[in-house]
Amino acid sequence: MDYKKIYQEWLSNPYFDSATKAELESIAADEKEIKERFYTELEFGTAGLRGVIGAGTNRMNIYTVRKTTQGLANYISKVNGQQKGVAIAYDSRRMSPEFADEAALCLCANGIRAYVFESLRPTPELSYAVRKLGCIAGINITASHNPPEYNGYKVYWEDGAQITPPHDTGIMDEVKKVTDFAAVRTMGRREAQEAGLYTVIGKEIDDSYIEELKSQVIHWDSIKAAQKDIKIVYTPLHGTGNIPARRVLREIGFENVYVVPEQELPDGEFPTVSYPNPESPEAFALGLKLAKELDADLVLATDPDADRLGVYVKDQKTGEYHSLTGNMSGCLLAEYEISQRKERDGSLPEDGALIKTIVTTNMADAIAKYYGIRLIEVLTGFKFIGQQILNFETTGKGTYLFGFEESYGCLIGTHARDKDAIVATMALAEAAAYYKTQGKTLWDAMLDLYEKYGYYKDAIKSIELKGIEGLAKIQEILNTLRANTPAQIAGYEVLSVRDYKEDTVRDLKTGAVTGTGLPRSNVLYYDLSGGAWLCVRPSGTEPKVKFYYGVKGTSLEDADEKAASMGEEVLAMIHQML
């Protein structure tokens, strides 16, 4: 059916409410907008749904949420998981509570109990709740760090991780089968509650979750010694982290925690930032201003759903605040957690493992090698780290020590199966206390890492290509690179290329071809001379093609220069294709 006919169907069908029809009538003269909203359906992929809020098949609205949930309910019934129920959480974005309720009531109408948080909660607590309540699945209504016009719908399975094979394809198939919106089931909330199908959750899960986090503390003595001397500035960026982050810091003993007042309260418009992303320097402007006024030791920012943590640390020698990338903070925490666990226990488990994604820094490899533990590399997406934890549990082989990805996400402990910025906030504060008792700051500890393992510098560039034409252009870039492997990239010789879509690793010198050992994915990875690398992949959540890269220098300055040069040359290479 063509997009104009679908548009007219939405306008005429009594199933769609008057507000939806009024919104669609307002774009009647905008052919391009009508096409963007109706040329396709908002795709339910391995990361769930994510899109602009609005009326239409290619938008986030109550109808696309219901339709997706009906597909999920059908899959749950297919695997006989109805009795276990589904946990549902949501963030501070526009329509998040409404979408959460629509999902819950669709599940209830299908005879599946919904456990719905009473108010907004962070993503990692949803992951925790799925396992704590023994649910078959979880739903989180969030678009993470996307701009305000977006919202999303993430699905978790019973292990607490976002869906992976075979459940991801199974659910996607069932969602695709739901072609008639009117066939989607729903019911009233009062009716659902009276039937015992709609359960509100909150405090008990909160308390249990916080206790799980506190059980990960290694050095209570260091916290006690330094708790009065460390000043922490924190911002939840108008999202879900405010209450749990402040609570866990308070309960483990930190007394001087200051929240950025302008960004404290939940607000889906994110009025103080254009892009609520802790990777963005703009997100830290107010936090750094407050930190300088207070002479704070560190500045922490969680993204709206509090699964990612951004960090600035103070260099006491210069008074300067240094930004830690996700790679830097991940390695700092990996070193702290693994080294201190070894010191506390006397040794590390023989089957201990450090897990990272393929686009994460090679410093992680060096850390694993130093401690004699296994380094496991997985595809981009924290769910693949969660999948490894599940494999450890089911086989009895492997002990999870730490896992992280470059996009500011890590997990300490196995209470959740997604990245957890609340536990990372707690652990970084603990590490700051520990290093302070050693006469060091977190910046000093970071410099020690470079001296110990090498001056690794990793970064990312991206090109945004919106709309139908943009998606085609992104695919064209990947196709061009796939068909024409460059001999050099930014002056570095290409040693081998990994094509995860074709499941091949090709050595350019010998011509030998082997498998990647990972699931197929539309990703290209180039191993370069001098310890450098480049990885190209389409974003799974935004209309972007991303270029991850890393270099190794002889000093911080040398690594910075090499990384800056590489970033410029990679973008120049890609722009020639546009």
Kindly write down the DSSP assignment for every residue of 349-388, as one continuous string.
-TTEEEEEETTS-THHHHHHHHHT-EEEEE-SSHHHHHHH
Q: Reduced to 3 states, what is the DSSP secondary structure of residue 536? A: strand
- C-alpha dihedral, 572 to 284 to 241 to 328, nearest 10°: 60
Find the helix or strand (DSSP H, E) in which 551 lies: strand 544-553
Print pLDDT tens along the chain (578 aa): 589 999 999 999 999 999 999 999 999 999 999 999 999 999 887 778 999 999 999 999 999 999 999 999 999 999 999 999 999 999 999 999 999 999 999 999 999 999 999 999 999 999 999 999 999 999 999 998 889 999 999 999 999 999 998 999 999 999 999 998 888 999 999 999 999 999 999 999 999 999 999 999 999 999 999 999 999 999 999 999 999 999 999 999 999 999 999 999 999 999 999 889 999 999 999 999 999 999 999 999 999 999 999 999 999 999 999 999 999 999 999 999 999 999 999 999 999 999 999 999 999 999 999 999 999 999 999 999 999 999 999 999 999 999 999 999 999 999 999 999 999 999 999 999 999 999 999 999 999 999 999 999 999 998 888 877 888 888 888 999 999 899 999 999 999 999 999 999 999 999 999 999 999 999 999 999 999 999 999 887 678 889 999 999 999 999 999 999 999 998 888 887 76
Find the helix or strand (DSSP H, E) in which 234 lies: strand 231-235
Query: Of 148, 101, 121, which is closest to residue 268 (Cα–Cα)?
Result: 148
d(CA 195, CA 109): 10
* Domain covering 40-201 assigned CATH 3.40.120.10 in the classification: yes
d(CA 9, CA 57): 11
335 neighbors 447 (Cβ within 8 angstroms): no
Domains 40-201 and 455-575 share a fold: no
Provide the 10 A C-beta neighbour count for residue 253.
16
**What residues are annotated to the active site?**
144
CATH topology of domain 206-453: Alpha-D-Glucose-1,6-Bisphosphate; Chain A, domain 3 (3.40.120)
d(CA 521, CA 83): 34
Query: Of 289, 308, 302, which is closest to residue 236 (Cα–Cα)?
Result: 302
| CATH assignment, 455-575 | 3.30.310.50
**pTM score:** 0.94
Provide the 10 A C-beta neighbour count for residue 33.
15
- For 213-216, the CB contacts below 8 A with 24+ separation are 213/248, 213/413, 213/415, 213/420, 213/422, 213/423, 213/426, 214/248, 214/251, 214/252, 214/426, 215/413, 216/412, 216/413, 216/423, 216/426, 216/427
Domain boundaries, the chain: 40-201, 206-453, 455-575
Q: First and final CA of the chain: distance in angstroms?
A: 32
For the sheet containing 114-117, what is the strand order?
Answer: 49-52, 150-157, 137-141, 86-90, 114-117, 198-201
